[in-house]
Chain A
């Protein structure tokens, strides 16, 4: 983590100084070289700094690292922007169908998250791999370094536990 690169209380001043010294330069590169809007350029520069915070311990040349980061981030931003098609001005503007039943959906979603958070880490991993990432049981078994049979049992048991917690049939 970055903060090892900025030890003790001087670290606060140092990281603030690194930010102040480079922020305008990074925004300038994104705007000047890549024709990215100023608002998007500022967002990219801030995200680059967040990643710098996490990686700072292994950064030897801060300026080179930050400049390299904004070049890469700007190129990637432009690649993504090219894939986005604007909606026609005169087209229909229906609400996102996902929000049609939002009053019932959000409380249910919050309850599901709460139930999930109360599971053990092993259960969270197994259920996330199975139902969010879409892994098969053999793949989960491989990732958790266990047998297919145990992985199947684990997913079933954890799903049952989550369901019981969601329905409030278990105290903790």
Chain B
């Protein structure tokens, strides 16, 4: 059951609780994320809060260590793709797309642009059947445009950006529109 104000407040509380629980775990994982890729996943890690913090950690590690960032993002993606079905489908799709975007960013920072585009293809697939995820698709389109520009494919980048800019305009998100203008 996903309707009603009380249910949404409950969900917000649940997600916040998951993030609090995940914080200490992710701090430990960040020291050596590659090791965690080769150990079975503890069931308690299979939460959206855990995926969110791993994806955040991957973004934070981008400059310091793209390799560590990639391992954190891969862990996030593996958990996201196996989240329990007790989460609403739309949240699982959004979380998985965000994790795969983190994988894409890690590849892009290491100049592996083709791998970055492949990871974005996977992220796009996660959101493609969800009418409510237009904003997330636009975020992915922006990431794709940045990657295409770095690949020196400006015309494709501009084509992708037009749709994203239009979506951000409809959502009234001036910050993301400015990001589009910077590409």
Residues of B that sit less than 8 Å from A by CB = 2-6, 8-9, 11-13, 15-16, 19, 36-41, 48-49, 52, 67, 70, 74-75, 77-79, 81-82, 88, 90-91, 94-95, 98, 103, 107, 110, 112, 114-115, 118-119, 122, 125, 130-136, 167, 170-175
Q: Evaluate contact between A80 and B131: CB separation under 8 angstroms.
A: yes
Bound state CA distance, A112 and B81, in angstroms? 16
| Residue in chain B with minimal CB distance to A141 | B115
Q: Evaluate contact between B5 and A47: CB separation under 8 angstroms.
A: no
Instruction: Give the A-B contact count at a CB cut-off of 8 A.
Output: 170
| Interface mask (A30-62 → B, CB under 8 Å = 1, otherwise 0) | 000000000000101011111101110011110
Bound state CA distance, A101 and B56, in angstroms? 44
Q: Evaluate contact between A58 and B175: CB separation under 8 angstroms.
A: yes
Bound state CA distance, A48 and B9, in angstroms? 15
Most buried by A among B2, B122, B131: B131
| In the complex, chain A residues whose CB is within 8 Å of the CB of B114 | 142
Q: Evaluate contact between A122 and B15: CB separation under 8 angstroms.
A: no
Bound state CA distance, A121 and B4, in angstroms? 35
| In the complex, chain B residues whose CB is within 8 Å of the CB of A59 | 173
Determine if A72 is an interface residue (Cβ-Cβ < 8 Å).
Answer: yes
| In the complex, chain A residues whose CB is within 8 Å of the CB of B94 | 50-51, 54-55
A-B contact pairs, 28 of them (CB 8 A): A1-B49, A2-B15, A3-B12, A15-B5, A17-B5, A19-B9, A44-B132, A46-B2, A47-B88, A47-B131, A49-B8, A50-B91, A53-B15, A55-B94, A59-B173, A60-B172, A61-B172, A64-B171, A68-B135, A69-B132, A121-B79, A122-B37, A122-B38, A122-B78, A124-B81, A125-B78, A139-B118, A143-B107
* 7 cross-chain pairs, A with B, having the tightest CB-CB distances, nearest first: A64-B172, A72-B134, A121-B78, A68-B171, A47-B132, A76-B131, A16-B5
Bound state CA distance, A117 and B91, in angstroms? 20
Separation in Å of the A56 CB from the closest CB of chain B?
Answer: 9
